[in-house]
């Protein structure tokens, strides 16, 4: 960072660099040629670069903004001594990662260069998205419960009336029609029960997440007849944690079965695969709840992907991208994982669909004591 010459200029420069280095916000300082003069530790972490290697190199080598005019805007700010701020800019880093950022560009005194403050938004946007998802799903569940009560009462009356009518019919062949009424009423009642999902509370006991996944893998292998390759990538350091084993099996099996059915419909022959992956994530936030340790389970397939117009809504009841689907499996899975204070997220594009299940590890111990 260039500071006007004079007594104490060098010590003053080091003083300001020291202040920048202790800021949580990412800060970079450029000269008028847009070469890096200083980068603080927060910016090193965000941009995945090392200060010792990037100083005196062009800043634009380490990111590419979706807006192609970003470099021109930086040059104009340096030339015209103009300050500006950009919101929700998409940055593509040199290592292939993507960031959503707000950043402010401030010219230094005497046209000595530019100071750029960068705030990463991905974490905040994800928290906001998760809060909205959790809230809207709770509203949906309450609505479904109310509707189920209103639907099941008249269904019981219709079924009872059909049974009484069946006894009074003069001809036995007419009973076929009352049986149709009874069977259809039973089908609707079962559908409503499935929409409500499991009503029992979790039965927490120490479980191994890999035993759960192996059970899921065994069922999927049997159902697909070995036509789909199952890949395993487990982190053996994940400890046992209290959870409801049957609930977790059901939640993950619903997701894996959806993947299997999507691959079968796509008919990718021997190229079809489902990957089961586990990892530990530290300092992770679910909704607004911060967790030191979280178990992340990824169920990934290489199928055609989920249609873009429904991918944001797939955890709601009756939303499905398959002609034969009921749209209940993922809604039930999300509810089961939320009973473990976790969450399921999805990312999808043709050739890669990933469902990520996050289950906090430390909260269960408090819940069981």
Both 322 and 227 in a single domain? yes
Residue 1 inside a domain? The answer is no
Residue 283 and residue 213 share a domain? yes
pTM of the model: 0.61
| Per-residue pLDDT reduced to its tens digit, 287-304 | 777 788 999 999 999 988
Residues 301, 327 within the same domain: yes
By the 10 Å C-beta count (0-12 exposed, 13-18 middle, 19+ buried), 59 is classed as: buried
DSSP 58: B
Where does a domain end: 169, 196, 223? 196
Distance CA 4, CA 110 (A): 8
Q: Is 11 helix (H, G, I), strand (E, B) or coil?
A: helix
Long-range contacts of 49-53 (CB under 8 A, 24+ apart): 49/94
CA distance 242 to 253: 19
* Helices 329-338 and 122-168, axial angle in degrees (round to 10): 120
Q: Which pLDDT value is given to residue 278?
A: 96
With the C-alpha atoms ordered 44, 47, 50, 51, is the resulting torsion angle positive or negative? negative
- Residue 74 forms part of a structural domain: yes
Q: Which domain holds residue 217?
A: 205-368
Query: Which of 179-188, 205-214, 311-320 bottoms out in mean pLDDT, i.e. has the lowest?
Result: 311-320
185 pLDDT exceeds 80? yes
| Averaged pLDDT for residues 304-329 | 72
Q: Do 275 and 349 belong together in one domain?
A: yes
d(CA 252, CA 296): 12
Q: Is the pLDDT of residue 270 over 80?
A: no
What confidence category does residue 363 fall into, taking pLDDT thresholds of 50, 70 and 90?
A: low
Neighbours of 155 (CB within 10 A): 16
Residues ≥6 apart with Cβ < 8 Å to 147: 192
> How large is the average pLDDT for residues 342-353?
89
> What percentage of the chain carries pLDDT values higher than 90?
20
Please tell me the predicted confidence (pLDDT) of residue 323.
54
Q: Per the structure, how many domains does the chain have?
A: 3
- Among residues 66, 100, 120, which one ends one of the domains? 120
User: The sheet that has 63-65: what strands, in order across it?
Assistant: 36-39, 26-30, 114-120, 98-107, 84-93, 63-65
Do 98 and 237 belong together in one domain?
Answer: no
Identify whether residues 147 and 36 lie together within a single domain: no
Let me know whether 142 and 65 are in one domain. no
If asked whether residues 27 and 44 sit together in one domain, one would say yes
Q: Do residues 98 and 67 touch, judged by C-beta distance below 8 A?
A: no
Rounded Cα–Cα distance for residues 358 and 342 (Å): 5
Distance of CA 352 to the CA centre of its chain: 14
Domain containing residue 303: CATH number:
3.30.565.10
Flag whether 188 is in a domain.
yes
Last residue of a domain, one of 177, 196, 215: 196
DSSP secondary structure string, 224-276? HTT-SEEEEE--TTPPPEEE-HHHHHHHHHHHHHHHHHHHHHHT-GGG-EEEE
Q: What is the pLDDT of residues 189-208, one digit of tens each?
A: 877 776 666 667 788 899 99
Q: Are residues 286 and 362 in the same domain?
A: yes
CATH number, residue 52? 3.30.450.20
At 122 the pLDDT is: 74
Q: Torsion over CA of 175, 178, 179 and 182, rounded to 10 degrees? A: -160
One domain, residues 180 and 268: no
* Residues 230 and 268 both lie in one domain: yes
Nearest Cα to Cα of residue 276 among 297, 306, 246: 297
130 and 103 assigned to the same domain? no
């Amino acid at each position: 960072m260039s500071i006007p010459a004079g007594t104490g200029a060098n010590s003053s420069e080091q003083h300001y660099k020291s202040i920048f280095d202790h800021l949580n916000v990412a800060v970079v300082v450029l000269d008028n040629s847009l070469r890096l003069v200083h980068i603080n530790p927060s910016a090193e972490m965000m941009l995945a670069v090392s200060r010792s290697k990037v100083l005196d190199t062009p800043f634009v080598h380490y990111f590419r903004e979706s807006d192609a005019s970003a470099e021109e805007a930086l040059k104009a700010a340096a030339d015209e001594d103009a300050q500006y701020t950009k919101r929700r800019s998409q940055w593509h880093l040199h290592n292939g990662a993507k960031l959503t950022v707000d950043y402010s560009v401030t010219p230094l005194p005497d046209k000595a260069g530019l100071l750029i403050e960068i705030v990463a938004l991905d974490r905040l946007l994800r928290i906001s998205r998760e809060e909205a998802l959790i809230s809207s799903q709770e509203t949906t569940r309450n609505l479904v419960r109310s509707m189920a009560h209103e639907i099941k009462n008249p269904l019981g009356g219709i079924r009872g009336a059909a049974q009484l009518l069946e006894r009074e019919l003069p001809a036995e062949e007419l009973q076929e029609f009352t049986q149709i009424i009874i069977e259809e009423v039973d089908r609707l009642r079962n559908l409503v029960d499935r929409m409500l999902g499991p009503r029992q509370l979790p039965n927490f006991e120490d479980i191994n997440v890999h035993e759960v996944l192996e059970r899921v893998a065994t069922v999927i292998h049997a159902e697909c007849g070995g036509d789909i390759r199952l890949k395993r990538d487990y982190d053996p350091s994940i400890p046992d944690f209290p959870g409801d084993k049957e609930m977790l099996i059901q939640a993950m099996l619903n997701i894996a079965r959806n993947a299997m059915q999507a691959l079968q419909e796509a008919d990718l022959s021997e190229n079809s695969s489902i990957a089961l992956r586990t990892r530990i994530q530290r300092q992770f936030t679910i909704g607004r709840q911060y967790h030191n340790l979280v178990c992340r389970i990824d169920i990934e397939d290489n199928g055609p992907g989920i249609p873009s117009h429904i991918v944001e809504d797939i955890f709601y009841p009756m939303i499905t991208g398959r002609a034969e689907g009921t749209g209940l499996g993922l809604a039930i899975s999300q509810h089961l994982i939320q009973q473990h204070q976790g969450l399921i997220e999805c990312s999808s594009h043709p050739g890669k669909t990933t469902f990520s299940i996050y289950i906090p590890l430390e909260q269960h111990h408090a819940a069981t004591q």
